[in-house]
Amino acid sequence: MEPAGSEQRGAVRELRLHLVTWNVGTASPPPDVTSLLQLNSLGPTMDMYVIGLQEVNSRITNFLSDLAFDDPWSIFFMTVLSPLGYIKLSSVRMQGLLLLVFVKHVHLPFIRDIHTHYTRTGLYGYWGNKGGVTVRMSLYGHTICFMNCHLPAHMENTEQRLDDFEKILEMQFEGENIPSTLDHDVLFWFGDLNFRIADYGIHFVRESINNKRYNLLWEKDQLNMAKKKEAFLQEFIEGPLQFKPTYKFDLYSDVYDTSEKKRKPAWTDRILWRVKNLCQHASKEGEFSEEEQTISVTLNNYISHMSYGISDHKPVTGTFGLELKPLLSDPLIILNPEGEWSAEHDVLISYSAVPEFPSSAWDWIGLFKVAFRHVNDYVTYAWVEDDEISSNKDSKQVYMSAAEIPDMGGEFLLCYYSNNLQSIVGISQPFQIQPNRTLIEKDLTQEENSWMQKPDNLESLDEF
């Protein structure tokens, strides 16, 4: 099963990643995010979306509701992306910080060891209005980490921003054999980093922006300045800032702050990345040899989106190509529906596992609609041990009761969830479930009978 939207040349696979950072200023989702997610792009589809939001509405009533149910932004992006074949792989929330990761279904068996973490840095580490939320995983055997941060505001707080980021980098994931943040093969760092443009006055900054001479401002950008001095930042890479500073705008406009404060424009919203042990020995052509690298990151575009006006920040996106040599090529589980499926009879699932698969009595196989949103969005499920009906050295069979199968049928797929690995480790091809003919015929008969029996109120109308 070849993952859609990715290219494979020999042993190398290229995945397309679209990363979003947006301080939404407590606003509700906009009506449309087609351009933000580049859904009309003529190129190959994305394999993964990573969406980092800051200042999601976290008033106490909203936040308590979001703890019990998905928050409006998560629901919004799931509604947009699930019909296109993406599942919400993971998410992590800390007050106003939210990080969402969506992937194409076909990659699920090759994504493992998913962990999340959050680090508070507000109020000396006791308050989560500032800090970082992180998702890490193994992608085709390579370790990837995504870190969405909201750092302290204001021109004079550069050192505090750097101190807070160092603290976030030092956090440790819970679990065995999980690398530290900087030991991941690739680390993406993004968010409202709140770095400002130093020294220059507001008139010079605005004139440079109006004339699209952004390069005049780069050397006084506090993050660029810090990267030259701070050793821990020097391995982070960022694309050129060829777009207008993304803060601060009047709402629903592309006009910079006209309030009394008249904030100086700044590139507060940024996307950077770091490749571990990036080889510095370039070949004569100035490129790294394939033997020296098993994963590389290419930035395809880095832009802001001026049309969105729900907050005083403009969203920023980065589209990346991840070229990697898969260290995993086979799924841990291969599973398929047996025979024709319908709600008229019990149905069978066959599956096989690789010898080293760490199975558990708590593993289950879920039946999902093709446009399912997340791992808990199943129609029904079967326990792999309790519902097993046959087993041999090559494969096992599990049954599902007819009573659990949707009467109206449709297109579905099966996913095997591993309790030990806390992830989907096998997924079937989509397949059709036939409608329950008996139930449909019964419904039609009842409908015909209801038409034949004229209601009393219509009979009384006939008298007039």
Domain finish residue from 297, 324, 351:
324
Which are the contacts of 151, defined by CB distance < 8 A and separation ≥ 6? 121, 130, 160, 161, 164, 165, 191, 192, 193, 194, 195
Q: Is residue 58 part of a domain?
A: yes
**Burial per residue of 338-353, b for 16 or more beta-carbon CB atoms within 10 angstroms, e otherwise:** eeebbbbeebbbebbb
Domain finish residue from 324, 352, 373:
324
Q: Is residue 1 part of a domain?
A: no
First to last CA, the chain: 69
**Cβ-based neighbour number of residue 141 at 10 Å:** 16
404 shares a domain with 307: no
345 shares a domain with 320: no
**What single-letter DSSP state applies at residue 194?**
-
394 shares a domain with 314: no
Give the domain extent around 163.
13-324
Which are the contacts of 92, defined by CB distance < 8 A and separation ≥ 6? 98, 99, 116, 117, 118, 133, 134, 135
Q: Is 42 exposed, middle or buried (0-12, 13-18, 19+ CB in 10 A)?
A: exposed
* Number of structural domains found in the chain: 2
Tens-digit pLDDT profile for the chain (464 aa)?
Answer: 444 445 444 588 999 999 999 999 999 999 999 999 999 988 889 999 999 999 998 765 555 544 555 799 999 999 999 999 999 999 999 999 999 999 999 999 999 999 999 998 866 555 557 899 999 999 999 999 999 999 999 999 999 999 999 999 998 888 878 999 999 999 999 999 999 999 999 999 999 999 999 999 999 999 999 999 999 999 999 999 999 999 999 999 999 999 998 999 999 999 999 999 774 333 334 444 444 568 999 999 999 999 999 999 999 999 999 999 999 889 999 999 999 999 899 999 999 999 999 999 999 999 999 999 999 999 999 999 999 999 998 899 999 999 999 999 999 999 999 999 989 999 999 999 999 887 766 655 565 566 555 555 444 434 43
Looking at residue 450, what is its pLDDT? 60
- Give kind and range of the element (H or E) at residue 100: strand 97-104
Q: Are 246 and 227 in contact (CB under 8 A)?
A: no
* pTM: predicted TM-score of the whole model, two decimal places: 0.89
Looking at residue 283, what is its pLDDT? 34
> In whole angstroms, what is the distance from residue 196 CA to residue 157 CA?
10
Instruction: Name the E strands within 329-451.
Output: 333-338, 341-342, 347-353, 364-369, 380-383, 388-391, 396-400, 410-418, 423-427, 431-434
Q: Is residue 185 part of a domain?
A: yes
Peptide bond into 325 cis (omega under 30): no
The CATH number assigned to the domain holding 369 equals 2.60.40.2840
24 shares a domain with 171: yes
79 shares a domain with 50: yes
340 shares a domain with 319: no
Query: How far, rounded to the nearest angstrom, does the alpha carbon of residue 261 sit from its chain's CA centroid?
Result: 36
Q: Is residue 454 part of a domain?
A: no
> In whole angstroms, what is the distance from residue 139 CA to residue 345 CA?
39
291 shares a domain with 174: yes
The CATH number assigned to the domain holding 18 equals 3.60.10.10
56 shares a domain with 26: yes
Q: Is residue 162 part of a domain?
A: yes
136 shares a domain with 188: yes
Q: Is residue 3 part of a domain?
A: no
